[in-house]
Structure 1
Amino acid sequence: MRRGGAPSGAASAPSRVTALGDRTGVLAGAGAYALWGVFPLFFVLLQPAGPIEVLAHRVVWSLAVCAVVVTLLRGWPVLLRVLRNPAQLALLAVAAVVIAVNWGVYIYAVHIGHVLEASLGYFINPLVTVLFGVLLLGERLRPWQWAAVGTGAVAVVVLTVAHGRLPWIALVLAFSFAVYGLVKNRVGRRGGGVDALSSLSVETMLLFLPAAVTLAVLGASGQATFTGHGAGHGALLAATGLVTAVPLLLFAVAARRVPLTTIGLLQYGAPVLQFVCGLLLGETMPAARWAGFGLVWVALVVLTVDTVRGSRQGRGMSQAAVRPVEPVVE
């Protein structure tokens, strides 16, 4: 935002426009993460459809919504450019597989009543992203960032002991989204960046055939629920496309209007709301589980404060705590 120097009459209108833009961006970002945060309340409405059917419908209807939005925004030239770039297309094929795993595990978690564990996955995702930065990208961490990663590892051990098993849902969600972010960063280096809408469009195109075959098999075997449980149920399954696209478009608005640091801080809103949804859906939180989550939250506070301080001081080490990818999450 420009301050001072110009006559007040000439500068006031542009300043207001700039401020409004910032405010609009923050509201759009908050809205995107809020919608992602309440996804569990939507997915529970899709029962008795099983996770595989829900995932297949989400792919099909997301592609349909993307086609409409791309047409309205006249985005086909950009999309065709991506489709003609073999290197980007290959990377987006990998991203499609990874995000299908992410979506499927998340839907499964909601289906079996493990929303709290799913929220844990998105809480620890920044820690996994930092770890990837060190192991795969050669980034250097400051001492407090190492402390945060170590605290997160202790939290996983505590939760494993509390559950009597690894919190595999949380780990799959965290690692799959970190891999997705890594792949998307590579895409941007192969012929220019790919916006979130184009990325989702290509990924769902690549997943469309397996999804359509899955729905056909479910229908032929009498396991599909799309037409057998009333118009409302079918409409909800079709709405998975809108539910996927709307927060993504809000995020795209935010990404153009606010700093990445702000978006990085807003991203914690989604797992917080997922955590609340898990409690509202009646999931239990024994003392040991509170202890594990508490350690994760401490790690995130340490990581975020240290990273924000580092970015303000201009130090070039890992900024992963506040460096979100273009999300196609949950």
Structure 2
Amino acid sequence: MRINKYYLAAFIAFVIWGFFSLALKPIHHYPSLDILFYRVFFSVVLISAINLIIRRNVLLKDWKNYKSKSKSDRNKIIRVNVGGGLLLTANWFIFIYVMNHISVKAASFAYLVCPILTTVLAFIILKEKLSKWQWTAVGISVLGCTLLSFNSFADIFYSLIVALTYAFYLISQRKNTEVDKFVGLNIQILTSGLILLPFFPAFSGPVPTDSLFYICLAFIVILFTIIPLFLNLFALKGVNSSTVGIMLYINPLINFVLAVFYYKEAVNEIQLISYSLILISIIVFNEKLIFNRKLNPQKVTESHEENISR
């Protein structure tokens, strides 16, 4: 495959997300809710500034499109974006909690099973079809999850919650086609900020005075939120969405490697077997792409919508 600027942008985005724990772990002693508060509030300011200043024409175009819609269509646009904000808020909070208070492996595992879990839920909710290879991959993934649950129920429980919140987010965004993706993300994060704002005075801790907190927060907001999202959106302009989809797994794989070799988290034989089964299920699930078999155009389109939502 020829590497071009779009492919490189997607690759860099997922590599950056894979190192997210490096910015979270140094501030693990801060409450997860405080980290979420400041991440969301600063993200709202930065993303809004980007849309208002750099992408103002896109914003105005979406507003005119929204005003031209019927009342029912406008309500649908509001529901899908506000609902996305609710799911993002839940996913971010639980992910930060799992990363800082459960284990990096558990956070990594959540995003290993998320793509497959999303497809299974799409089959149930959206009536999308799965091939026999994909059903086989789902079965292998379930076996890996079952083995891991024998070793640590907490890991599998929290991992599945993280994966479910993001899977439902992706499903909810499948038909969110009336608004520019970055504008939609702005609305969702703004929704998240408005949800969290009333709780800030009562549930936030003392205002952090440690410079390390704000340094890490700057990395979280700029390097691990704004930049990867821009790179991902840029990549989807020129790279097949299936190619971007397979690179999604770079993120949790880097997380797992960091957990074992950098954070020195213990790994036993059952965990190794479980994660190996997950990796095998990923290969089986994507066998058409990996082995250059012809993809069903409908599935390519669906994959495109999912990755834009990400």
Contact kept, 8 Å, 2:23 with 2:217, in 1: the verdict is no
Q: Which residue of 2 aligns with 1:292?
A: 274
Higher alpha-carbon deviation: 239-248 or 114-123: 239-248
Question: What runs of 5+ residues in structure 2 fail to find an aligned partner?
Answer: 68-73
Shift of 1:246: 1.0
Are positions 1:214 and 2:199 aligned together? yes
- CA shift in 2, pair 1:321/1:88, >3 Å: closer
Q: Which residue of 2 aligns with 1:27?
A: 8
Secondary structure, counterpart of 1:224 in structure 2: coil
Q: Which residue of 1 aligns with 2:71?
A: none
Contact kept, 8 Å, 1:57 with 1:211, in 2: the verdict is no
- CA shift in 2, pair 1:59/1:315, >3 Å: closer
- Normalised by the length of structure 2, the TM-score is 0.87
Q: Measure the CA separation in 2 of the matches of 1:69 and 1:251.
A: 16
Shift of 1:324: 3.7
Higher alpha-carbon deviation: 47-56 or 309-318: 309-318
Question: What runs of 5+ residues in structure 1 fail to find an aligned partner?
Answer: 1-18
Q: Measure the CA separation in 2 of the matches of 1:323 and 1:304.
A: 17
Are positions 1:128 and 2:117 aligned together? yes
- After superposition, give the CA deviation of every residue in 1:119-140 in whole Å (9 maximum; x if it has no partner): 1111111211221232122222
Q: Which residue of 2 aligns with 1:107?
A: 96
Q: Which residue of 2 aligns with 1:118?
A: 107
Contact kept, 8 Å, 1:82 with 1:89, in 2: the verdict is no
Q: Measure the CA separation in 2 of the matches of 1:161 and 1:167.
A: 9
Q: CA RMSD in A?
A: 2.5
Q: Please tell me whether Structure 1 or Structure 2 has the larger radius of gyration of its CA atoms.
A: 1
Q: Which residue of 2 aligns with 1:248?
A: 229
- Normalised by the length of structure 1, the TM-score is 0.82
Contact kept, 8 Å, 2:241 with 2:300, in 1: the verdict is no
Paired-residue identity, %: 19
Shift of 1:311: 6.3
Higher alpha-carbon deviation: 130-139 or 175-184: 130-139
Q: Which residue of 2 aligns with 1:170?
A: 159
Q: Which residue of 1 aligns with 2:253?
A: 272
Shift of 1:27: 1.0
Q: Which residue of 2 aligns with 1:9?
A: none
Q: Which residue of 2 aligns with 1:305?
A: 287
Paired residue for 2:182, among 197, 204, 214? 197
Higher alpha-carbon deviation: 238-247 or 311-320: 311-320
Q: Which residue of 2 aligns with 1:283?
A: 265
Paired residue for 1:263, among 244, 264, 288? 244
Q: Which residue of 1 aligns with 2:141?
A: 152
